[in-house]
Structure formats: C-alpha cells, structure tokens
Amino acid sequence: MEKVCIEMPRVSDCMVTNCTYNLEKSCHARAITIGDSKNPNCDTFLNGSTHCKEKSQSAGVGACKVSHCKFNDDFECNAENISVGFSGKSTYCLTFKV
C-alpha cells in the first residue's frame, strides 16, 4: 500500500474515553476531522466499547471545517497540537479559539 506522509498537528490528548479510537486517553486514529461550519466537534468520534488495538500511532488533525477558528488556515489546523474533550455532551476540539 502506498502511504502519504504529511506534517499535521497532533492530538495531544483526548478525554472522550467512549470513542473507539481512544486508548488510554489518547487518540489513535490516523487523522481526525474537526467541525462543521460552526462548531468544533470531533467528526471522527465513533461511539463504542471496543477500542482500537493500535498504540504506536497518534492521531493528527487532517482537516478543520471551522473557518472562524484562529488556528484555521485554508481549512487546515495550524495549532502546535490540540486537545479533544467534552463541551456539554458533544466531543469538541478544546483548543478552538475565535
């Protein structure tokens, strides 16, 4: 399989322990997508009790659809890293800033 290697901000921690990609409060998806046009939700969130087995890779932020975030540049995140957690009952990018 041919792989693409690009630099992207890392998900430094994730408190959404009921997500399938979460293992030991760390996200292990290859990359996540943040938001719709208004809210910085984690669009990659997958509710489940079975968790991924892969511990060696840490997720990066592949895309951000929240154009009014100060870290958004052409729908890509430019923060050093991000944290994901809860805002109410929603999974949110806690690094989001206007």
Reported as a single tens digit per residue, the pLDDT across 13-34 is 999 999 999 999 999 999 999 9
Domain parsing of the chain, residue ranges = 8-98
Answer yes or no: is pLDDT of 4 > 90.
Answer: no
What pLDDT, on a 0 to 100 scale, did the predictor assign at position 53? Answer: 79
Q: Distance between CA 45 and CA 9 in Å, rounded?
A: 17
pLDDT 10s digits, 29-82: 999 999 988 899 999 999 998 888 777 888 999 999 999 999 999 999 999 999
Higher-confidence residue of 91 and 6: namely 91
Answer yes or no: is pLDDT of 12 > 90.
Answer: yes
CA 73 from chain center: how many Å?
A: 16
